[in-house]
Amino acid sequence: MPRLGQLTVSRQGYGAMGLSHSYGRADDAQSVKTLHRAIELGVTFFDTATGYGKGHNEQLLGQALAGKRDQVVIASKFVHRPNGADGPVVSPREAVEASLARLNVERIDLYYLHRIDKQIGIEESVGELGRLVAEGKIGAVGVSEASADELRRGHAVHPLTALQSEYSLWTRDVEVEILPTARELGIGFVAYSPLGRGFLAGAEVTEADDYRNQHPRFEPEAIAANARRREVIERVAERLGVTKAQVALAWVLSRDVVPIPGTRHIAHLESNWAANDIVLDTATLEELETAYVRGSTVGTRYPADRLAQVPPEPVA
C-alpha cells in the first residue's frame, strides 16, 4: 500500500470535487452511494476542499463517511482568500475549525494549503498548520501546486506529508523539477485530474455550467488538436482490451504517485479502480510518452487568472 508520510493510503484515492463543484449538478443521494461503493472496492483515501461547493463537499463527505471514519483517510484543503484577492484573509486555524465542523470529525488526517498566497509566505502558512498538528486537529500538512522552491521552504518549517498537483499524460510539467524535489525530500505526491479532466477518457462537455467551458484546452480548436493524440490511448486500449480511462490511469500509477480520479458514476468508479491491475510494459509506456511529450498539449491547463496561482510551465 502506498504511503504519504506516516499515512497509508489506497493505490488510488477518490477526488470528491465533482460531487459539488465544477462539472454541473449532482444528486447528493447518488453521490453518497458512489462514495459507499468506493469504500467497498477498497478506496481508503478521500479528497475534498473547503472551496468545493462552498463547504457542501465537506458536508457531503462527512455524511457519507459517518460510521466509517476508522476505514478512511480524509484530506481537505483551504485557501487564505476564498473570496478572491480583495477578500478577507482566512487563517489556517479558522479554516480547520470550519472543516472539522462540516466533516463532523475530531481530526482531519491531511490538510493542504490549496494555493499559496503570494502575500503570505508559505513559511507562515505551514508553520500555523504545524501548530494545528501539535494540537491534534490535523494529522499532517500538505501543499497543493507548490514550486520546488516553495516545497523546500515549507518543508524546512514543518515536515510536509504530501504535495498535490495536476499530473497526467497531457500535464507533465512537474516531472522537470517539482516531482524530483518532492521525492528528494520524502514528500508523497498526489496527482489530481489524472484523466485530464475526463478528456483522456473521452468525456465531452455537455452542460453549460461545466467549468471546463472556461478552459483553453476545451476550446474547439484545442479539442480537435488534442483529440488526434488521444488516438494513441485508444489504440493501446483496444490492444489491451481495456478502456481509455484505464490506460491513462495505469500510466499515472506507473509513476509511483497516488492519483485521485473523481466520478459521479459507480460504473466509472469500478472501471477506474480496475486500472490498479493493469501493468503497462516498457514499449507501451514509451509509446504513450512519445505521443504526450511534455508541453505538447494544445492550450494552457487553466484560464489566465487561475494560471497565475500555479507554478509556471518549466522552460527546460
User: Smallest Cα–Cα separation from 92: which of 134, 49, 140, 126?
Assistant: 126
User: Smallest Cα–Cα separation from 164: which of 240, 78, 265, 244?
Assistant: 78
Which residues, 6+ apart, have CB-to-CB distance to 230 below 8 Å? 199, 200, 202, 244
Pairwise CA distance, residues 312 & 147, whole Å: 8
Q: The dihedral of CA 242, 201, 224, 313: what is its sign? A: negative
Pairwise CA distance, residues 15 & 4, whole Å: 16
Which residues, 6+ apart, have CB-to-CB distance to 248 below 8 Å? 168, 169, 194, 195, 196, 200, 201, 233
Cell of 193: 485530474
Longest dimension (CA), the chain: 53
Instruction: Kindly report the backbone phi and psi dihedral angles of residue 53, in degrees, each rounded to the nearest multiple of 5, phi listed first.
Output: 70, 25
List, in sequence order, every residue forming a beta bridge with 73; answer none if it has no partner.
45
Cell of 245: 480511462
Pairwise CA distance, residues 47 & 260, whole Å: 7
Burial of 15 (0-12, 13-18, 19+ CB in 10 A): buried
What residues act catalytically? 52
CB 146 within 8 A of CB 122: yes
Hey, what long-range contacts does 207-213 have (CB within 8 A, 24 or more apart)?
207/23, 207/24, 207/25, 209/24, 209/25, 210/22, 210/23, 210/24, 211/21, 211/22, 211/23, 212/22, 212/23
